[in-house]
Structure formats: structure tokens, C-alpha cells
């Protein structure tokens, strides 16, 4: 699979939509965070123009009902419109994780599934696949064109090549991963929705190389895309700006999340098994980390990114309420209102074929 740096020339580009906010880290049992009407009104009052909904949170959303009832979807969109926000996308991060689980993580991930399928790997996986199918139809019913999920992982316990991996181990894992996701991607294709994988440590799809391996096995499936989140690349020490140059044709979603990496003589990327607050690599609220957001927004504007700038708040120091309050103006201040004309149009001399030839010393005849 070959990705190349593109050149848009003088084409007019779109303005990124936003700011928006992912609700997963804010939903809880207390008002205004325990129902969609109140939490969307809260988000709109903070200046957000869109919300991204975690489909697994029954306090906010009924995934099966959204897949089966157009009237439910219309009512939901009406509620959001009344509160001054749009629905940007749905998320199935937790369900997607369960499409592929290495046995080492069976017990840890069982909590993502309903009680009736816990302890049963086959039943749990089937439930997860059905959740993705419902999400595809729900997204279509809601008029959405993109959806975000995790890939799950079969090879992650072997991410570091020690002990030496037997020949074919990673290839086998990725072949199985592609086999499981291909029919799901086909369902999303039938619904006209792009499926965006958040590249994330702990998932088999965690960087550009692993995404390329997966995409090649899927023969470049047209619905297989990327949610871009630079914070995960800071923690991996990956060039998150060049990543956009390489993969912008596949980037359909964007989580605006900050991070920092401050290695010491005691720890680096792996963090020494420490809690988040004590790690060299940490997620931070917007503006408190090291991510070069002006450069990111510039590159996404250059490549005509079609989606929303969505805050995903995660920080081991700052409160979620403060992070949400600061996030909307931070994102709004970075969105580039793209130019409708070239900055040097005032000096435009017009088009004259003969004059152009004279300026190049070619004379008036066309050879």
C-alpha cells in the first residue's frame, strides 16, 4: 500500500467544522450529564456546535432503537437542534474492541459486554459484531457519513519482538483481523458510511504501518479509514505531522487531544508500569501539552479535511469541567477559515497566452 504527499495547488479548500465534543468522558449519573437533552444543552452553552455520542451509553442513546426507528432518530436530531448542536458521529470504541480480543485480555475486556455473554468468547464476539452492524444502520438513519471504533487486538501482546516471534505469527493475526472486519466494512459500505479506526496503543491498528498492513489485506476497502488523534502519536514518538501528509486521503475524523512526552533517566515510552500522572507520556487538556495544533489544523485545511474537530478530553491533572470549558474556544481559535481567493490576487495580471510566451522568450508562434 503506497501513500504519497499530495498537492492541492490553487484549489479552494473547506473550513473544518467545529468545535465539537466527545461525550464519553463526561457522561455520568448526575445532571446534566445523565441524559442526552441535558448534556447536549450543556455542551451548546459552552460553545460547542457538535457532539459525538458513545453508542454504548444507554443514559444518552439507544443504539438498537436508532438502527430500527427513523422516528427515534428524527426526534434525537430535533432535540439536538433545539439545544444548538449537531450530531457529528457515533462511537463504538468498546464494542469494536471486542471484535478481536487476545485471551490474555479476556477477563479485563469482559466488562465491556453485557452480562449474558461474559465468559463466552464466541458469544461476546458475535454480540460485538452485531453492535457494529446496528451502528452502521443507525449512522445512516441519522444522516451521518462517518463512524469511529477500535480494531481490537490479537497481536498486541507480541508488540515488542522479544522473545523472538515465530515466523508468520503477526501475519496470521492480521489475516484473522481482516477476516473479521471485512464483512463489517461491507455493511458500512451498504449504508454509505465510512468506518474510521482510532489508531491507539493496545489495538493492532496503532500506527501507520499497522494500518497499511490491515488495509492491504482488505484490498484497500473504500470504507476503511482513520480517526486522527495526535496524542497517541506523541506517546509513541511518531511524527504526527508527516502522518497527515502520508494518510490524509484516509483521515475522515479528528479527535483534538493534547499530550506530552517528557522522558527521564528512569523511564521513557513504556512508562515503568506507573499510573498516568507518573508516566513520561501523559494525556493533557488542550494547550497544556506539546501537540503543535496550529500545524495540524493547517495541514488538515490544506488537504481539505471533510469532518469535525472533536475534543476528546483526557487529562490526569485538570478537571473535566475545566477541560470542557476551555476546549471550545481553544478549538474555535485554531479552526482556519479558509481563504476564498489568493492573498496576492491584487497583483494578478490576467491571462494572455502570447504575453506568457514572450515572457518565456518563446516568440509568438506555437511550435
Q: In whole angstroms, what separates CA 23 from the centre of its chain?
A: 14
Q: What is the pLDDT of residue 14?
A: 82
All 3 cell numbers of residue 93?
470504541
Q: What is the pLDDT of residue 357?
A: 83
Q: Which residues contact 13 (CB under 8 A, 6 or more apart)?
A: 301, 302, 303, 304, 338
All 3 cell numbers of residue 183?
464483512
Domain assignment present for residue 245? The answer is yes
Helix (H, G, I), strand (E, B) or coil at 20: strand
Domain assignment present for residue 199? The answer is yes
Q: What is the pLDDT of residue 11?
A: 53
Domain assignment present for residue 354? The answer is no
Q: What are phi and psi of 216, to 5 degrees?
A: -65, -40
Q: What is the pLDDT of residue 344?
A: 61
Domain assignment present for residue 8? The answer is no
Q: What is the pLDDT of residue 129?
A: 98
- CATH number (domain holding residue 271): 3.20.20.150
Per-residue pLDDT tens for 300-355?
999 999 999 999 999 999 999 999 999 999 999 999 987 666 556 655 666 788 88
Helix (H, G, I), strand (E, B) or coil at 94: helix
Q: What is the pLDDT of residue 86?
A: 98
Q: Which residues pair with 254 in a beta bridge?
A: 228, 309
What is the total count of domains within the chain?
1
Q: What is the DSSP letter of 272?
A: G
Q: What is the pLDDT of residue 367?
A: 55
Give residue 295's domain range: 17-341
Low-confidence ranges of the chain (pLDDT < 50): 5-10
Q: What pTM was estimated for this model as a whole? A: 0.93
Q: What is the pLDDT of residue 302?
A: 95
Domain assignment present for residue 221? The answer is yes
Q: What is the pLDDT of residue 8?
A: 47
Q: What is the pLDDT of residue 9?
A: 47
Q: What is the pLDDT of residue 13?
A: 65
Q: What is the pLDDT of residue 346?
A: 57
Domain assignment present for residue 347? The answer is no
Domain assignment present for residue 265? The answer is yes
Domain assignment present for residue 353? The answer is no
Angle formed by the axes of helices 208-217 and 169-191, nearest 10°:
70
Per-residue pLDDT tens for 99-144?
999 999 999 999 999 999 999 999 999 999 999 999 999 999 999 9
Q: What are phi and psi of 261, to 5 degrees?
A: -130, 110
Amino acid at each position: 500500500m503506497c501513500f504519497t504527499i499530495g498537492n492541492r495547488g490553487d484549489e479552494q479548500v473547506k473550513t473544518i467544522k467545529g468545535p465539537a465534543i466527545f461525550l464519553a468522558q463526561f457522561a455520568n449519573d448526575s445532571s446534566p450529564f445523565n441524559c442526552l437533552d441535558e448534556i447536549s444543552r450543556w455542551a451548546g452553552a459552552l460553545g460547542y456546535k457538535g457532539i459525538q455520542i458513545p453508542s454504548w451509553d444507554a443514559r444518552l442513546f439507544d443504539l438498537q432503537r436508532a438502527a430500527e426507528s427513523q422516528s427515534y432518530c428524527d426526534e434525537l436530531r430535533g432535540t439536538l437542534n433545539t439545544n444548538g448542536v449537531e450530531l457529528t458521529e457515533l462511537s463504538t470504541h468498546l464494542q469494536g474492541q471486542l471484535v478481536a480480543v487476545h485471551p490474555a485480555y479476556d477477563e479485563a475486556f469482559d466488562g465491556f459486554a453485557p452480562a449474558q455473554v461474559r465468559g463466552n468468547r464466541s458469544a461476546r464476539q458475535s454480540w460485538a459484531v452485531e453492535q457494529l452492524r446496528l451502528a452502521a444502520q443507525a449512522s445512516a438513519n441519522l444522516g451521518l457519513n462517518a463512524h469511529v471504533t477500535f480494531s481490537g487486538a490479537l497481536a498486541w501482546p507480541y508488540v515488542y519482538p522479544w522473545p523472538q516471534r515465530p515466523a508468520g505469527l503477526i501475519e496470521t493475526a492480521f489475516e484473522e483481523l481482516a477476516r473479521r472486519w471485512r464483512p463489517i466494512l461491507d455493511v458500512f459500505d451498504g449504508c454509505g458510511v465510512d468506518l474510521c479506526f482510532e489508531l491507539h496503543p493496545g489495538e493492532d491498528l496503532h500506527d501507520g504501518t499497522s494500518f497499511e498492513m490491515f488495509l492491504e489485506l482488505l484490498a484497500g476497502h473504500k470504507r476503511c479509514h482513520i480517526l486522527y488523534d495526535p496524542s497517541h502519536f506523541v506517546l509513541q514518538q511518531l511524527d504526527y505531522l508527516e502522518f497527515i501528509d502520508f494518510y490524509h486521503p484516509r483521515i475522515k475524523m479528528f479527535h483534538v487531544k493534547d499530550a506530552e512526552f517528557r522522558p527521564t533517566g528512569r523511564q521513557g515510552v513504556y512508562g515503568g508500569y506507573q499510573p498516568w500522572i507518573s508516566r513520561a507520556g501523559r494525556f493533557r487538556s488542550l494547550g497544556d501539552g506539546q501537540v503543535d495544533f496550529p500545524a495540524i489544523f493547517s495541514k488538515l485545511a490544506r488537504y481539505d479535511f471533510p469532518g469535525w474537530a472533536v475534543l476528546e478530553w483526557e487529562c490526569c491533572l485538570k478537571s473535566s469541567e475545566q477541560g470542557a470549558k476551555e476546549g471550545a474556544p481553544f478549538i474555535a481559535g485554531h479552526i482556519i477559515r479558509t481563504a476564498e481567493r489568493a492573498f496576492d490576487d491584487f497583483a494578478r495580471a490576467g491571462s494572455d497566452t502570447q504575453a506568457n510566451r514572450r515572457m518565456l522568450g518563446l516568440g509568438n508562434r506555437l511550435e
